[in-house]
Structure 1
Amino acid sequence: MRTVVITGSASGIGRATAELLRARGERVIGVDLHDAEVEVDLATVGGRASLVEQVRALSGGTIDAVVANAGLAIPTPLTVSVNYFGAVATLEGLRPLLVGSPAPRASLTSSMATLMAHDEELVERALADDEPGALARATVLVEQDKGDQIYSSTKVALTRWMRRHAATADWAGAGIPLNAIGPGVVATPMTAEMTATAEAREQLLTLVPMPLHGIMGPEVPAALHAWLVGESNTHLCGQLVFVDGGSDVVLRGESGW
């Protein structure tokens, strides 16, 4: 039986992924602020360290996969701490526990928001592992009424981190596929306010076009996470896989090639 650690497991994509994997007979160690096997705050250094220690104790020192999914979408510095620094600490802290697995895997939740406007200074401060500097820059963005760029900036930074590390000795060299999913609009508590009315949904889909079936349920990106951390994924390395109803195609077209 495989053991998979999922952050943000109490709701949304994390909960759907946990339910899917458990239904397949896998053991899930859920991580969240509440209603989880490991209850910690990934916005804090102490919470990140406690995550690693608790998972080590619960797992006996070996896990098979990590889904770094926990995230926020609020225009405040807290989003930086959770979305980027919490996710990176999760992956780096739990990587040694993956090494003992015969088929270790890791996946993280990015976003199609990586295609949107972002703040390059915030991205670079995050990638430089400068959390105080990144939080300070996020505060400036809020003051400049550009807080909407915080979420996209954290996802751009996280995706770049993944791309920089996926093919290194620590990940690919250790036999660990490291990849990410890029969801479009998902019906979760995080997006409830933005999708509460027909008018709100129409406005959102103008910004995030999803010509294939529109807004999705959390079970859709959950299925992609489940494949990425499954044993059949042997060679996908460093990829951001969009599951967005066509947003990437509409917004970027052929520009990637």
Structure 2
Amino acid sequence: MPTTAITGSASGIGAAVATALRAAGHRVIGIDRGNAEVIADLSTREGRDAAIAQVLELSGGVLDGLVCCAGIGVTAPSCGLIVAVNHFGVSQLLGGLEGALAKGSNPAALVIGSVAAIRPGTEQEPMTQAMLDNDEARALDIANTLGEPQVAYACSKYAITHHARRLAATWGAKGIRLNVVAPGAVETPLHDASRNDPRFGDAVRAFVAPLGRNGHPEEIAALIAFLQSQQAGFIHGSVMYIDGGMDAMVRPQRV
């Protein structure tokens, strides 16, 4: 029975992934702020260290899978919190659990990115570079000073996607697959909070994919379950958009 750790397992996409992987025969170690095997706050270095330690204890130091679903959106209390959870909450767990994955059977890790990462100019934002430099204090300071949650969210998702991609060569050499799934709008509590926010609600409701609807957590989970399976054994370092055609509509020239 493969053992897989899932962050954000208590709701939304993470909960759907936990259900799908359990159905596929995985032993799931859920990580969340409540209702999970590991209770942790991934917004701080100390919270992430505690989560890593607990996962290593529960798994016996051996993991076959890791799915990083935990994330927060534009309704977060601060822009720095968005950056802390969405980028550093993922990058630190990837680093802290790499050794356990290397000991696993056909190990695979996956990061939830976002179609929001394609926002024009995101790669040039100073906070993006600070994230890629692993300078958390600077990244949070820039994000909070700018005070634009939608920019912080896009940058955090771009940076963690970039980070995962540049790990692909070294992780592949160790036999660990690592991919990114980039959803569009998905019917989750996170999306619902954004849709009902007086600042961002109109923009969120206007963000309609060519298929004319939002995605469902179970659809995202089905793709993740495949990517974590041996059937996807040659898929590594890839970014999979599951966005109802939004990326194709916005960037038709992308190949």
TM class by shorter-chain length?
A: over 0.9
Question: Secondary structure of 1:232's match?
Answer: helix
1:154 partner amino acid: S
Amino acid at match of 2:247: D
CA contact (8 A) 1:209 1:246 kept: no
Partner of 2:104: 101
Q: 1:12 corresponds to which residue?
A: 12
Call closer, same or farther: CA 1:94–1:214 in 2, change over 3 Å.
same
Identity fraction in percent: 39
CA distance in 2 between counterparts of 1:127 and 1:195 reads 30
1:120 aligns with 2:119: no
Using the TM superposition, give the Cα deviation of residue 25 of structure 1 relative to its aligned residue in structure 2, in angstroms: 2.2
Give the aligned partner of residue 222 of structure 1: 221
Instruction: Give the drift of 1:195.
Output: 3.8
Structure 2: unaligned runs, 5 residues or longer: none
How many angstroms apart in 2 are the aligned matches of 1:164 and 1:82? Answer: 20
TM-score when normalising by structure 1 = 0.91
Counterpart secondary structure, 1:192: helix
Shift of residue 196 of structure 1?
5.1
Following superposition, the deviation at residue 194 of structure 1 comes to 3.6
Report the aligned-residue RMSD: 1.7
Moved over 4 A (4+): 200-203
Q: Is the 8 A contact 1:113 1:155 kept in 2?
A: yes
Rounded Cα–Cα distance in structure 2 between residues aligned with 1:192 and 1:239: 28
Which residue in 1 is equivalent to 2:243? 244
What are the superposed Cα offsets for residues 14-57 of structure 1, whole Å, 9 maximum, x if unpaired?
00000111122211000001100000111111111111111111
Q: Aligned partner of 2:70: which letter? A: A
Q: Distance between the aligned counterparts of 2:169 and 2:11, measured in 1?
A: 31
Look up the SS of the partner of 2:96 in the other structure. helix
Q: How many Å separate the matches in 2 of 1:78 and 1:204?
A: 20
Alpha-carbon contact 2:2-2:105 (below 8 Å) kept? no
Matched, 1:182 2:193: no
> Deviations for 1:163-199, whole angstroms, at most 9, x for unmatched residues?
111122xx100111111000000111101134459xx
Cα drift, residue 203 of structure 1: 4.7
Match of 2:156 in 1: 154
**In 2: Cα distance, 1:227 partner to 1:196 partner:** 33
Q: Is the 8 A contact 2:208 2:214 kept in 1?
A: no
1:213-253 Cα offsets, whole Å, 9 max, x none, are 51011111111111111122211121110000000110000
Give structure 1 stretches of 5+ with no counterpart: none
Distance in 1, Cα, partners of 2:141 & 2:190: 24
Corresponding residue SS for 2:157:
helix
Q: TM-score under structure 2 normalisation?
A: 0.92
